[in-house]
Amino acid sequence: MSASFRLSSSLSPLQSRDLLKMRFLSPRIVVHNPVPFLMPMKTAHSRVVLPENVKVAASELAVTAGIPVGMTESGGLQVDLVTETDLKENGFRSTRRTKIVCTIGPRTCEFEEIEALAVGGMNVARVNMCHGTREWHRDVIRLVRRLNEEKGFAVAVMMDTEGSEIHMDDLNGAESAKAEDGEIWTFTVRTFDPSSCPERTVTVNYDGFAEDVKVGDELLVDGGMVRFVVTEKIGPDVICQCTDPGLLLPRANLTFWRNGSLVQERNAMLPTISSKDWLDIDFGIAEGVDFIAVSFVKSAEVIKTLKSYITARSPGSQIGVIAKIESIDSLRNLEEIIKASDGAMVARGDLGAQIPIEQVPSVQKRVVQLCRKLNKPVIVASQLLESMIEYPIPTRAEVADVSEAVRQQADALMLSSESAMGQFPEKALAVLRCVSLRIEKWRREEKHLDATDPSFVSFSTPPSISVEICNTASQMANKLKADAIFVYTKTGQTASLLSRNRPDCPIFAFTPSTSIRRCLNLQWGLIPFRLDFSDDVESNLYRTFSLLKAREMINSGDLIIVVSDVLQSIQAIKVP
């Protein structure tokens, strides 16, 4: 591997006045005397400069460090060895803040393949119910769970609903079909036996299709990858001429446009959650997924309905509902939808088929900013590294697109076909990892958004003790150049509020719940650990210090800002 090594200077020597401990006991402020520190200090520690070379995986770092990739759990502190090695070798500040969602597909559904993705930095595994059978998805979900149990990872599972989109059938099992310029194709609601399907005929899943379209409409496959114009309607058959040739892929999505805008006829009345989706949702709840992403959300109502359904079916469940922003209607009701959800996804694939593509970047920025304001995690999805489905390196333009999402400080980036069926899933993941690290560092250096930046202090949330504590803790961490923020959180809420401030240092989130640990793995800058802790902040802290120090994940002299949602307190403390 090509990692280079560099010695970084040690933190300034510990002085007793530095030990001033600030504590905000809600809402009183108490300043304590310094506690004595008896442990000797290290003068310097070595750090690995993170390789910019995309070929280097965290697993290689683990191997270099002589550590097998697996789980470590001691004294009730649970973390995977990749995170542990990363912290040890690279230091806190270099850890990646932007999270990565990988769609699992035929290319990545074996245990070893999923493990390779986890080792490469996958935080969330997504299964797309548009494709495959429930049995297939069940196997994948169980493999992820096994991986977490055996190796200590906290990979969350996101189930993505099919939704009532209009799409083609599976092309009778063919990988693709080529439509040439000028060819006449038939799109129909009739179904055929594979053996008796006429040439250049595609079945469409929506019964009202032939009634909704008009002669002269433009038919876009996959948001315009292939285009047709409707020339004739004969009963259930819609006859079209190809105007932009290309490859038709199985179950590709279809939209039709009239006079330059999306046609919304009876198709607009299709339910957001179809009867098949409800069965998939039952399946997801039964399999204990962490997130359900709802496709083609139109209003907040459907999110509220789903959330109450989940609560009724599985009381006390932590399943987060993610609204996919990919339709015109979702843009009309954006704020309401995001408020009702537990997170959002900028699903640029379908979004770009519903609004003119040149509007997608500004919508992305708007959704990312709104989610931050409303303290909801946001995922930027689709076509980030599209060329890597076939090629081992991305285009420069793709790197620029990924960089922009990282600069916007989205919580997570998502791979779709790149990881589901592409030729280079691990390389694509490595590109997201390296670009994220580099751009995050650049952004910190530029200090475009530091503690004094009004955009972070002026979030218009209703005033609350937790919000103020988290804002103050983040500002303190930035001003004091703290090495990390530690948060002890039972519900995950305090960790989210800290993440929202996008502080300069990483946030170690300790939670007693394995499911909250997984959910936190979708959020920017959080390194989730499972830890049983008591209501005694002091003893939690010293126990954590000794557990982390024993494993060299922190060092004497590291400055830590400590926040607890149990006591609603802040402390600034140097590791003894």
Ligand X SMILES: C=C(OP(=O)(O)O)C(=O)O
Ligand Y SMILES: Nc1ncnc2c1ncn2[C@@H]1O[C@H](COP(=O)(O)OP(=O)(O)O)[C@@H](O)[C@H]1O
CB of 69 to ligand X, least distance (A): 30
Residue 518, interface with ligand Y (CB under 6 A)? no
Minimum distance of ligand X from residue 281's CB (angstroms) = 15
Which stretches of the chain bind ligand X, using CB under 6 A? 128, 130, 160, 295, 326, 347-350, 381-382, 416
Residue 123's closest CA among 156, 87, 78, 79? 156
Closest distance between Mg ion and the C-beta of residue 25, in Å?
A: 48
Q: Is residue 416 a contact point for K ion (CB under 5 A)?
A: no
Q: What is the DSSP string of 375-411?
A: T--EEEESSTTGGGGT-SS--HHHHHHHHHHHHTT-S
CA distance to 80, 294, 471, 565, per residue, from 510 (Å): 14, 29, 19, 11
131 binds, among ligand Y, Mg ion, ligand X, none (CB under 5 to 8 A by kind): ligand Y
Of Mg ion, K ion, ligand X, none, which one does residue 416 interact with (CB within 5 to 8 Å by kind)?
ligand X
Q: Residue 553's Cα: distance from chain center in Å?
A: 25
What residue has token string 């379209």?
A: 213
What does the block give as tokens for 62? Answer: 């683990």
Segment 309 to 348, residues that bind Mg ion, using CB under 5 A: 326, 347
421 binds, among K ion, Mg ion, ligand Y, none (CB under 5 to 8 A by kind): ligand Y
Picked from ligand Y, ligand X, K ion, none, the partner binding residue 571 (CB below 5 to 8 A depending on kind) is: none
Residues 22-81 that bind K ion (CB under 5 A): none
- Identified binder of Mg ion from the candidate list 160, 342, 350, 426, rule CB under 5 A: 350
In whole angstroms, the minimum distance from the beta carbon of 352 to ligand Y comes to: 12
- Stated as kind and residue range, the H or E segment containing 441 is helix 425-446
Where helices occur in 314-394 by DSSP H, the ranges are: 328-332, 334-340, 348-354, 360-373
Contact 127, 280 (CB under 8 A): no
Residue 263 phi, psi (nearest 5) = -85, 125
Give the span between the Cα atoms of 379 and 370, in whole angstroms: 12
Nearer to ligand X, 115 or 326 (CB): 326
In angstroms, give the least distance from the CB of 360 to Mg ion. Answer: 13
| Residue 253 in the binding site for K ion (CB under 5 A) | no
381 binds, among K ion, ligand X, Mg ion, none (CB under 5 to 8 A by kind): ligand X
Interface with Mg ion includes 89 (CB under 5 A)? no
Three-state secondary-structure class, residue 374:
coil
Q: Which residues of 68-91 are buried (b: 16+ CB within 10 A; e: fewer)?
A: ebebbeeeebbbbbbbbbbbbbbb
Q: Tell me if 416 contacts ligand Y by CB under 6 A.
A: yes
* Residue 380, beta-bridge partner list: 346, 413
β-bridge partners, 247: 178
Closest-approach residue to ligand X (CB) = 349
Query: Which partner, ligand X, K ion, ligand Y, none, binds residue 576 by CB below 5 to 8 Å per kind?
Result: none
Q: Min. distance of Cβ 281 from Mg ion in angstroms?
A: 17
Q: Which parts of this chain interact with ligand Y (CB under 6 A)?
A: 103, 105-106, 128, 130-132, 136, 349, 416-417, 420-421
Binding residues for Mg ion, per CB under 5 A? Answer: 326, 347, 349-350
